Chains A and B, each alone.
Chain A
């Protein structure tokens, strides 16, 4: 019986119903979109790191610690045969890491110099641009932020000074052959990339490497010597820790969005219900019990939430899909790493099942509560007061 009346009330109220449903639907949309953007930002940072830096994982020289540049000096050797085999098959590429100093425009800048195979296609880096520069002493690839910082352009030259395997300082002229646009600021700021054979020659470390990055989906080789396998989980652990540390912020962000949505829904529902005080009085005069009046309005709230969920799919679904496929223009460039996390210019929201289900349930509960509370208050009034529309908020 209540269901029938509730449906009639909702469909009969037309504009009022659709306004309430729209407000609720907008809340669904905003919460899902903003939370998905937040999730997307974190997921994107992870994916970019994997695509541009980590691939399937790496084998590290036992002395290599990327967080301690002092280890670079000793962290190099010829990779074990099994690992070298992967390189020969094109399933991995070696990187030789060393400290260096550059002198662009008369300034001195400490950098990490990395030698990489120009032909590699395992990580998403324009290393091919390093190939075919036989007449250049040291072809150098740098990132856009590094170029900006050092005031360098393609074709510019500068002095590079390094310490070779014999602990002898040497220097030569590097030439910028390409400036790459990368979303991963860890490949950009403070880094210069040179062809591997050139780095090995400069450092007097023939056939040596610091780490070898392998393609996705490869199992760990058996004869890896004392080199240490580092899988994706290990290599993104810092990022995972950062994301985990950010969970409370994400939760607070979600709660703030819910509060905003809750206030919108509360206003719409309370206004709607208190405007119907006389109607409630009439229903009581016709013999509807207080419990049923409360049940009716709560049920209307529930149906409102259901319609809002359907409206969200129909009205905002295409928009959510579009953002999910094409991303949202952020209007700012964080590629210099100033956010402390990789942030793309276009942020692609990630809609998880958990987010959608949780949001639907939580918003529906809010709608039910804000329908239940005011209707209970009105139903507790004397029918004569309700009939006169004498309703106080």
Chain B
């Protein structure tokens, strides 16, 4: 990996068609995120943070500019290659968990490993370990409908990190959770960041999350307005 750089974005512009015109969601974004960073994209609704997260994850494509993730230029990759990049090297955490309702906790967490064709014995070990990390060992056979919001999000975290990806992208992971659960979730992610050296990028406007971030990139109206390093975040304690 080029000097430990995980994400490198140059002159990114993203436009969406709205009626006969275009709405510019991201304007001239330049950004570099290194390995093991615990970074937040922070800004009000409509500031472009989810759009930026989706482009980093290869779920959306830029209108202009260059986006490179884990040494792969997303401008030049096919849908199939982007899918492989996500499958092998990324984990996603969504605001509404996006767990598959018919699967148990174990099966939801197992899914990325099945997609990566890991053999069943190793799968079992890794899933058990991931479920232990997030403290859901007693809920292994429960379905999402039987879990609380916090437990659902912990399952989503386990699913995002079970294949030990280099990068985890989390879109408003605590938006549907109360304060206690939010802190619990953040502590788990801080621990994973430290133990596995996984880079985390959050899209959030939740103050509780910001306290844990080591780097905060402020977005407003599709532009980066401020990029600050936090000296003593909760994540360092």
Residues of chain A having any CB pair with chain B under 8 Å:
1, 4-5, 8-9, 12-14, 278-279, 281-282, 284-291, 382-384, 387
Give the size category of B's interface with A. Answer: 20 to 34
Give Cα A282–Cα B160 distance, bound, in whole angstroms.
12
CB contact between B59 and one of A288, A291, A387 (< 8 Å): that residue: A387
7 example contacts (A-B, Cβ-Cβ < 8 A) are as follows: A1-B115, A4-B114, A5-B111, A12-B100, A12-B102, A287-B88, A384-B59
Question: Which B residues are in CB contact (< 8 Å) with A14?
Answer: 102
A382 to B60, CA, bound (A): 7
CB distance from A17 to the nearest CB of B (A): 9
Contact check: which of B57, B88, B115 meets A288 at CB < 8 Å? B115
Knowing A12-B102, A13-B102, A387-B94, the reply to whether A290 touches B59 (Cβ < 8 A) is no
Check B86 against A8 for contact (C-beta < 8 Å).
no
Complex contacts, B90 vs chain A, CB 8 Å: 287
Least distance between A216 CB and chain B CB atoms (Å): 60
A285 and B102 form a contact (CB under 8 A):
no
Contact of B103 among A8, A281, A290, A387 (CB under 8 A): A8
Are the CB atoms of A286 and B111 closer together than 8 Å? Answer: yes
Determine if B184 is an interface residue (Cβ-Cβ < 8 Å).
no
Q: Are A382 and B84 in contact (CB under 8 A)?
A: no
CA distance A1 to B87 in the complex (A): 14
A1-B114, A8-B102, A286-B115 given as contacts; is B87 within 8 A of A383 (CB)? Answer: no
Query: What's the Cα separation between A4 and B87 when bound, in Å?
Result: 18
Question: With contacts A1-B114, A8-B102, A382-B59 known, is A285 near B79, CB below 8 A?
Answer: no
Distance in Å: Cβ of B163 to nearest Cβ of chain A: 9
B60 adjacent to A384 (CB under 8 Å)? yes
> In the bound complex, do residue B87 and residue A286 qualify as a contact, i.e. CB atoms below 8 Å apart?
yes
Determine whether the beta carbon of B87 is less than 8 Å from that of A287.
yes
Task: Judge if B80 is at the interface, Cβ distance under 8 Å.
Answer: yes
Q: Please give, as numbers and ranges, the residues of chain A lying within 8 Å of B86 by CB-CB distance.
A: 285-287
B98–A282 contact, CB under 8 A? Answer: yes
Taking A1-B115, A382-B60 as contacts, is the C-beta distance between A288 and B102 under 8 angstroms?
no
A285 touching B92, Cβ below 8 Å: yes
- Is there contact, CB below 8 Å, between A289 and B102? no
Residues of chain B having any CB pair with chain A under 8 Å: 54, 57, 59-60, 79-80, 83-88, 90, 92, 94, 98, 100, 102-103, 107, 111-112, 114-117, 159
Which of B83, B112, B117 touches A284 (beta carbons < 8 Å)?
B83
Distance (Å) between the CB of B220 and the closest chain A CB? 21
Q: Whose C-beta in chain B lies nearest to the C-beta of A287?
A: B87
Collect the chain A residues with CB atoms within 8 Å of residue B98's CB. Answer: 278, 281-282, 285, 387
The distance from the CB of A153 to the nearest CB of chain B, in whole angstroms, is 70
Tell me the smallest distance from the CB of A9 to a CB of chain B, in Å. Answer: 6
Q: Which residues of A contact B112 (CB under 8 A)?
A: 286-287
| Docked complex Cα distance between A285 and B54 (Å) | 10
Q: In the complex, A268→B102 CA distance in Å? A: 18
Contact (Cβ within 8 A) A5 B114: yes
- A288 vs B86: C-alpha distance when bound (angstroms): 9
Known contacts A8-B102, A14-B102, A384-B54; is-contact A285 B59 (Cβ 8 Å): yes
- Bound-state Cα–Cα, A13 to B84, Å: 27
Complex contacts, B117 vs chain A, CB 8 Å: 1
Nearest-neighbour CB distance to chain A for B184, whole angstroms, equals: 23
Cα separation A14 to B102 with both chains bound (whole Å): 8
Q: A8-B102, A9-B102 are in contact. Are A287 and B115 (CB under 8 A)?
A: yes
A8-B102, A285-B59, A290-B83 given. 11 additional CB < 8 A pairs?
A1-B117, A9-B100, A279-B100, A287-B85, A287-B87, A287-B90, A288-B87, A384-B59, A384-B60, A387-B94, A387-B98
6 nearest A-B pairs in the assembled complex, by CB-CB distance: A287-B87, A12-B102, A287-B86, A383-B59, A282-B98, A289-B83
Q: Which residues of A contact B107 (CB under 8 A)?
A: 8, 12
A residues less than 8 Å from B84 (CB atoms)? 287, 289
| B36 to A: closest C-beta gap in Å | 22
Give, as a whole number of angstroms, the nearest-CB distance from A381 to chain B: 11
Residues in A with CB closer than 8 Å to B94 are 282, 285, 387
Tell me the minimal C-beta distance from B69 to chain A in angstroms.
13
Known A-B contacts A5-B114, A13-B102, A14-B102; the reply to A289 vs B59 at CB < 8 A is: no
Contacts of A289 on B, CB cut-off 8 Å?
79-80, 83-84
A288 to B88, CA, bound (A): 11
Whole-angstrom distance from the CB of A285 to the nearest CB of chain B? 5
Is B83 touching A282 in the complex (CB atoms < 8 A)? no
CB-CB under 8 A from A284, the residues of chain B are 59, 83
Task: Please give the distance in Å from A335's CB to the nearest CB on chain B.
Answer: 56
Tell me, rounded to whole Å, the shortest Cβ–Cβ distance linking A378 to chain B.
Answer: 14
- CB-nearest residue of chain A relative to B57? A285
B60 contacts which chain A residues (CB < 8 A)? 382-384
- Nearest Cβ on chain B to A293's Cβ, whole angstroms: 10
